[in-house]
Amino acid sequence: MKILSVHKFHYIEGGAERYVFNLSDVLEKRKHTVIPFSMRHPKNVPSPYDDFFSPYFNPEQFKSTKNPMRIAQNAIRVIYNREAQKKLASLIEKTKPEIAHVHSIYHHLSPAVLKTLKDHHLPVLQTLHDFKLLCPNIVFLDGKNKVCTLCSRGNNWHAMWKKCFRNSLPGSFLVSLEATVHKYLRSYKKYIDVFHVPSRFLGSRIIQNGYSHRPVEVLPYTLNVNNYLPNYNPDNYFVFVGRLSVEKGVLFLLDAIKKIKSIQLKIIGTGPLEQQMKERISREQLTHVKMVGYQSGEALKKLVSGALFTTAPSLCHDNSPLSIYESFSLGNAVLGSRMGGIPELIEPGVDGLVFEPDNTDDFADKVEQLVSNRDKTVQMGKNGRRKAEKLYAPDVHYERIMEMYRKTCKLAG
């Protein structure tokens, strides 16, 4: 089968991109042809289809000009990117794919590309990696980083009034306008045949808020478990892996760690709060907290597998964090917040524990349980590894995704 894979980035930016590349690898190893369509970018993985990619665009370009005409052109591009449509049409005509698998397209490619896919009579399946269809800010957070789901009720202008997008009124106006335009055009409702969601939480929200007219298929992400070597003799530290931003709960971690003295915390990652966190760790003498910066490949795996457990303390409704999949694959128990799709991944007492979000006392209590029952925690990590082998393995995922492709083709006629 020739599969057109549409995603705004063709390099690893986060969990969505890791899934896109993992899935392409799964399909290509089984002799399918995967044809990527993306945005040009200096970080892109080389592709024989580079010439067909949409020109580089970043919403940050708004800050680089005060020319009203240029600002208007950039805004139009966010809402309806005709250049991306033209490039995509050329790629389709050249390669003749049988199905389109769409991932994240907003801001850089725009939902305009969905119309192009249907103009070429392609069946379209979309994997939803976030809450963009229900929230202009994609993460159910307002401008003050408080959980907010007002826009999912149908009025996208709440995002502007609450300055949800980067606490910026102009930016929030633009994403509210984008969401409103495509709601009016019914871009997602008309042009998507099947939705794939990696969590029941997201699936239920999509169905409850206007997308019950199309099949919504729940299937966790995949990764090659064989590439992850577990370590069942961990050291006395636990890890956070991810973006250093408010919604990921990193400032909460620094609050909570003051109540914990029995174990070291290693924070892996980079992000907008990095310098603030370093200054706070020094000022408050949090000597049992170590920031190790961005890590990847074997260095990252070694750090995570050497930990007693991993924590996912998100304050936002995280969809289905790949960091948890990877932690289980490395034989780690996981301590996660009761937010979004996180509790679906963790079976309390079996492969980890769940705590109430933004509750430092509950978090500290759960950490103490994991530290004081070390043998049980190691066993939880072994159980997590077995879960990863059973649920996230490529063979399992391949069979399900092919079922979805067949359903998509059938529904598209």
Q: pLDDT tens digits, residue range 346-389?
A: 999 999 999 999 899 999 999 999 999 999 999 999 999 999 99
**Chain center to CA of 335:** 19
Query: Domains in the chain and their CATH numbers?
Result: 2-129+193-222+393-412 (3.40.50.2000), 225-391 (3.40.50.2000)
Q: Are 396 and 108 in contact (CB under 8 A)?
A: no
CA 62 to CA 142: how far, in whole Å?
A: 21
- Looking at residue 67, its pLDDT comes to 72
Residue 13 has pLDDT above 90, yes or no: no
Q: Where are the beta strands (DSSP E) in 42-193?
A: 99-102, 124-127
Residue listed under structure tokens 């725009």: 110
Please give the average per-residue pLDDT across 43-64, as a whole number.
84
| Mean pLDDT of the 190-202 span | 96
Q: Which of 241, 299, 297 is nearest to 271 (CA)?
A: 241
* Residue 318 pLDDT grade (very low, low, confident, very high; cuts 50, 70, 90): very high
The helix-helix angle for 112-119 and 82-95 (nearest 10°) equals 30
Rounded-to-integer distance, Cα 344 and Cα 199, Å? 7
How large is the average pLDDT for residues 304-327? 95
- DSSP per-residue letters across 273-314: THHHHHHHHHHTT-TTEEEEE---HHHHHHHHHTSSEEEE--
Is residue 60 predicted with pLDDT exceeding 80? Answer: no
In this predicted structure, the answer to whether residue 58 has a pLDDT above a threshold of 90 is: no
Rounded to whole angstroms, the Cα distance separating 175 from 111 reads 12
% of the chain with per-residue pLDDT over 70: 98
Angle at the Cα of 246 from the Cα atoms of 240 and 252, rounded to 5 degrees: 60
- Residue-level pLDDT at 59: 64
Predicted confidence (pLDDT) at residue 64 exceeds the cutoff of 70: no
pLDDT in tens, 264-283: 999 999 999 999 999 999 99
Q: How far apart are CA 76 and CA 85, in angstroms?
A: 13
pLDDT at 19: 95
Q: Is the pLDDT of residue 75 over 90?
A: no
| pLDDT at site 234 | 96
| Residue-wise pLDDT tens digits, 119-149 | 999 999 999 999 999 999 999 999 988 899 9
Partnered with residue 337 across adjacent β-strands are 355
pLDDT above 90 (res 406): yes
Look at residue 337 and give its three-state secondary structure: strand
Bridge-partner residues for 334, per DSSP? 310, 352
Predicted confidence at residue 61, as pLDDT, reads 59
Q: Taking all residues of the chain, what is their mean pLDDT, rounded to a whole number?
A: 94
pLDDT (average), residues 332-352 = 97
